[in-house]
Structures are given as C-alpha cells and as structure tokens.
Amino acid sequence: MTFADLGLSDQLLRAIDDSGYTEPTPIQRGAIPSVLMGRDLVGIAQTGTGKTAAFVLPMIDVLGHGRSRALMPRSLILEPTRELAAQVSENFEKYGKYHKLSMALLIGGVSMGDQVKALQKGADVLIATPGRLMDLFARGKILLTGCNLLVIDEADRMLDMGFIPDIEEICTKLPTNRQTLLFSATMPAPIKKLADKFLSNPKTIEVARPATANTSIDQRIVRVDARKKKDALVRLLKAEDVKNAIVFSNRKTTVRELAASLKRSGFAAGQIHGDMEQPERIKELERFKAEEINILVASDVVARGLDIKGVSHVFNFDVPWQPDDYIHRIGRTGRAGARGVGITLATSADSGAIASLEKLTGMEIASLDEAPESATDEAEKPSRKGRERKPKAEKSERRERPAREPRPERAEQPKVRREPEPEPTDAAELEDADTTWNGPVPSFLGQGFGG
C-alpha cells in the first residue's frame, strides 16, 4: 500500500515524498482514511510507530478547506509536554509546506504575548499543553467553540501527569459534534472512561508496541552491585561501540550527579530533567542532536516521545519504576530502520521490576553479570566518605540484599496535579509554571507555513 492509496491530496503526497517516506506505517494505514472520513478514533500506539503523521497528515487535508477566525482555532492538539508539542508543530511544518495553514503553539515557558498574537491572527491548528491552554481560556483569550477537531495525544502520559481533569474540562468547551482522536500507548481504565465519555462510536486501531515487535533493539540486562553502578556504567560506555547514548535515571538528583560524574570521567555528557528551565532543556537537546555531546543523561518526564535520530544506545541506569517507561526508554534507539542497543543495569533489589517488564514485553531479556572485580581504575572513585564496605565472598555477594539501595527521595514522575490551578512548586514540570522565557520563539508562531 502507498500513501496515494489513503486518499491524501497531491500537495500532501508531494510533502511526504520530500520526507522520503515510501510506505505508510500500520497506524497510518489504519488511521488516515478514517480521519479523512470524519470518524472518531482511538489509536493505541506509541511514539516510534509513526502515529504523529497518522493524525497530522489527514488533519492538514481536512483543514485545507475553510478559514480561521481570530481567537477561534479550528482544531486543537493536546500534548502532555512542551517538547512533544514542539515536535508535533515541526511535523505540521514539514508536511504542511504546500498548504496555507496557520498554526499556533501554546506552551508554558514561552512568552504569553506572542502566543496570544498568534491566536488573534486566527489559527487553523492550535497545539497546546493543557495547563497553558486552561490558563489562556480562564483569561478569556481563546474561544474553543469553532474547534471541530480535537486530538488528545499521549493520553496515558496525561494521566500520569494529572491532566485528565483539565482535559475533561477542555472537552466540554468544544462543540459536541466535533471529531475527536485519542492516542495512547496503553489503555488504563481512566483513559478508557475518557474515551467512552468524549468520543462517539470511535474506530479503534491498535498497533504492536515497538518494543515487542522491534527486533532492531538488542536488549540486555547487566546485573551489577548496587554500590558500583556508576563504575559499571562507565565501563559499559567504554566497552560498547557507543556513538551516542541516552542514559535514563529515575531521579532528577541522580541525573544531575551522573552527568557531572561522567563529565569528570572525560565523557562529553549533558543532562535533561524536569527541574531545568525550558531554554536550557532545548539547548541540551540541540547540543545532543548536533553531536557536541554524545551522552545525554535524562529523566523520563522530559525524554518520552522525543524523536532523536541515530541514538545508538540507551542505558537504564535505574530500572524504571513503571514497566511502560522501559518501552518508551529503549524506543529512543533502533529507530527508522537503524539498529540499537538497550542496556539496563539491575541490582538484586530489582528482580521484581525486571519480572514485570519482561511480562509486559512478553520476552525474556538476556541477562549477564558484571564482574565485581573488573577494572575500576578508570572509573570514578567511589566517594562514600571513605566508608567503602568490604566486599564479601564474591560467590555469595550477588545473592545478598544490596547494601542499602537509596530510597527514591523524589520521583520525576508520576506527577499528580490535584488542584486545577496548581502552585508551581515543581515549576519546570508543570506546563504553565513560568512565562518568562526570552529564548528562541519558534518562527512559525502564528504565521502561515508553506504556501
């Protein structure tokens, strides 16, 4: 099947051709004709499956007819994070280059004034994070009554981040006879309920998880001593043929410490986590994409869904608390036909978590032991105030409980937002916590693209 078989316009086919795609992915094959026909849709698919184009492409054609009016966007795409919102807008630019559609992006961390200006000019497509959208709505700066197409993307992530009440409220402000598309990697009960309440007779399409279907990722578990994880990571980074790697950790503090430690060990490492301001996050990502640094230490909140080409390795410095995050993490490698390696460091305390992720992926992950006595000379010195524990007899060591695994002091996620208008205590995490970014503003804000 080709893209031409899906009923897309010639301009769109030209833009797709320019992107170099020859064949639609399964989610695109399933979704595009239904969206063009105006049907509601539930897409059980995650990033890496081509799901963004599955809604962006038909939306461009649907919106190709008709005109936008000031403050009344014609369509709305809700994304859980600023990074994902920006990524979707890039997709609109790429595929919409032969159309004359206008787009506005409403994300926290970018000056509100520019976003309002873009809305005043009229937007065919509004891409927003729920917090900022609610904020603008409360200030009377936006009307959703002309919004006939709604996309709720990464719905399970929205749930993790406490956005479901906001989404329900947003849904009530749109016309009831709108078209609604909901995408989610998983369908936990609250998402199912949301779909039942706000979608009308939707077509459901489920595509294989990239991790279960994806044989292009060589997955491994390396069993390590809890006290020597950093050394083990350094050894692996040196032993593996690492072109560039994302190293995931469960805690923001570990992300910071690990990035600093890797730098001290001579690696070109950067970091990205939820406590960083938006311009800093973007800068680090750009440095990674431009190959100024080749190791990016990251937390789950900011890294989910990011589409960075050519990541050769993913390391899980910690086994993720939620098995789903494992799939998202390793899905950052082995993309677009390339091969990738996903290595998870696991201590003896992690066996339960490993069992749940093996259950989720439906496969046993190859596991090997990191030799406790192997070279530590080049690794960072453990700096535990000189109270290095004497290793016990090697044979029994692995069977023992590790020496006090640190308790997670503060999780990156899930974030639960209980109040409709939260105090920005964890400012960078919540979408509309700051309005003071003076950094680069996407050039397409409020302007026609393509044409």
Which residue's Cβ has the minimum distance to ligand AMP? 52
Instruction: List the structure tokens of 349.
Output: 């305390």
Closest approach of ligand AMP to the CB of residue 47, in Å: 4
Closest approach of ligand AMP to the CB of residue 334, in Å: 11
Question: Between residues 28 and 75, which has the closer beta carbon with respect to ligand AMP?
Answer: 28
Instruction: Give dist(CA 409, CA 136) in Å, integer.
Output: 34
Question: Between residues 52 and 89, which has the closer beta carbon with respect to ligand AMP?
Answer: 52
Closest approach of ligand AMP to the CB of residue 45, in Å: 7
The amino acid at residue 337 is G
Q: Is the peptide bond before 414 cis (omega within 30 degrees of 0)?
A: yes
Instruction: List the structure tokens of 143.
Output: 């009307």
Burial class (CB in 10 A: 0-12, 13-18, 19+), 369: exposed
Q: Are strands 245-248 and 313-316 parallel, antiparallel or unpaired?
A: parallel
Question: Between residues 29 and 417, which has the closer beta carbon with respect to ligand AMP?
Answer: 29
Nearest to 302 by CA among 278, 268, 326: 278
Closest approach of ligand AMP to the CB of residue 7, in Å: 15
Instruction: Give dist(CA 158, CA 255) in Å, integer.
Output: 23
8 A C-beta contact, residue 81 and residue 304: yes
In 3-state terms, what secondary structure has residue 366? strand
Taking the mean position of all CA atoms in its chain, how far away is CA 108?
A: 16
Instruction: Give dist(CA 430, CA 162) in Å, integer.
Output: 10
Closest approach of ligand AMP to the CB of residue 305, in Å: 6
Closest approach of ligand AMP to the CB of residue 28, in Å: 6
Question: Between residues 2 and 172, which has the closer beta carbon with respect to ligand AMP?
Answer: 2
Question: Between residues 48 and 320, which has the closer beta carbon with respect to ligand AMP?
Answer: 48
Question: Between residues 104 and 311, which has the closer beta carbon with respect to ligand AMP?
Answer: 311
Question: Between residues 29 and 228, which has the closer beta carbon with respect to ligand AMP?
Answer: 29
Closest approach of ligand AMP to the CB of residue 33, in Å: 15
Closest approach of ligand AMP to the CB of residue 78, in Å: 16
Closest approach of ligand AMP to the CB of residue 24, in Å: 5
Question: Between residues 127 and 259, which has the closer beta carbon with respect to ligand AMP?
Answer: 127
Closest approach of ligand AMP to the CB of residue 157, in Å: 13
Nearest to 63 by CA among 78, 76, 50, 74: 74
8 A C-beta contact, residue 347 and residue 398: no
Rounded to 5°, angle at Cα 225 from 221 and 226: 100
- 410: how many CB neighbours lie within 10 A of its CB? 10
Interface positions with ligand AMP (CB under 6 A): 21, 23-25, 28, 47-53, 307, 336
Question: Between residues 49 and 81, which has the closer beta carbon with respect to ligand AMP?
Answer: 49
8 A C-beta contact, residue 394 and residue 419: no
Question: Between residues 16 and 71, which has the closer beta carbon with respect to ligand AMP?
Answer: 16
Question: Between residues 53 and 276, which has the closer beta carbon with respect to ligand AMP?
Answer: 53
Per DSSP, 212 falls in state: H
Distances (CA, A) of 18 to 1, 26, 95, 242: 18, 20, 9, 31
For 249-332, strand residue ranges (E) read: 269-272, 295-298, 313-316
DSSP letters spanning 153-182? -SHHHHHHTT-HHHHHHHHHHS-TT-EEEE
Taking the mean position of all CA atoms in its chain, how far away is CA 382?
A: 33
Closest approach of ligand AMP to the CB of residue 51, in Å: 5
